[in-house]
Amino acid sequence: MSIPRSTSDTLKTSAPDQPASGPGPVDDPEVQLSAMVPRSVRRAVRLYAEQQGVTVRTVLLGLIREAGIIDIPDAQLVDRRSTVGSPREGPSSMHGGDPRS
């Protein structure tokens, strides 16, 4: 995946209080990050994650690291599900038929 140079530069400089490298320790508290994207993008990312046997979180963190936005240590890219590849419980599961997917 490549981000256009101007977008990449904007992302790197738009948050001056956030260092360009080093997200902090692996136990850095997690917060929610969200963005509105076309439904087809969400479907594609979920499908890609499923095909790779990883979570959407892992895919996104890997792409953020690959883009050079911030250096994310390998320890942050581990799958935190109790059983790898198992669907999550509830209506928001990838396999649960989320009507909004």
Max CA separation in the chain (angstroms) = 41
pLDDT in tens, 34-53: 999 999 999 999 999 999 99
pTM: 0.58
The string of DSSP codes covering 12-57 is: HHS-TTS-SS----TTPPP--------HHHHHHHHHHHHHHTS-HH
pLDDT in tens, 50-83: 999 999 999 999 999 999 999 999 988 888 877 6
Nearest-angstrom CA–CA distance, 57 and 80: 10
40: left (phi over 0), alpha (psi -120 to 50) or beta: alpha
Nearest-angstrom CA–CA distance, 62 and 101: 23
